[in-house]
């Protein structure tokens, strides 16, 4: 898995925050307000700088965080909430969509 980091300071600020706080659930509009640009600009910059949409990049960052936590033997329920998901089932569904298996069997 690859997680490109942008060079644009505004988008990099968002990415660094999401890496530090994977449970952050700010919308693009909320981030746009924080970095003082429009939502459209955030979308455009994410695509240009990372090759991914904001949602794709955030999901990828959360998956990388989750993989490290799973490898360290952490409980799936704790990882789900630390990744900003409202429930372990929502996290499991996203994980299964990406990897084809539930997180509980990933390192079996």
Residue 105, pLDDT score: 84
Q: Encode the chain (108 residues) as per-residue pLDDT tens digits.
A: 789 999 999 999 999 999 999 999 999 999 999 999 999 999 999 999 999 999 999 999 999 999 999 999 999 999 999 999 999 999 999 999 999 999 988 765
Residue 108, pLDDT score: 57
Residue 93, pLDDT score: 93
Please enumerate in sequence order all residues whose Cβ is within 8 A of that of 40, keeping only pairs 6 or more positions apart, or say none. Answer: none
**Residue 39 in tokens:** 């939502």
DSSP state of 86: S
Residue 107, pLDDT score: 67
Enter the pTM of the model. 0.90
């Amino acid at each position: 898995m690859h997680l490109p980091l942008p060079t644009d300071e505004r988008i990099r600020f968002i990415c660094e925050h999401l890496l530090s706080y994977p449970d952050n659930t700010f919308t693009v509009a909320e981030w746009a307000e924080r970095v003082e640009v429009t939502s459209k600009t955030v979308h455009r910059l994410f695509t240009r700088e990372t090759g991914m949409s904001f949602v794709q990049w955030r999901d990828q960052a959360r998956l990388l965080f989750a993989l490290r936590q799973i490898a360290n033997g952490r409980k799936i329920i704790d990882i789900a909430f630390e990744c900003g998901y409202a429930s372990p089932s929502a996290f499991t569904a996203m994980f299964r969509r990406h990897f084809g298996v539930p997180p509980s069997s990933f390192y079996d």
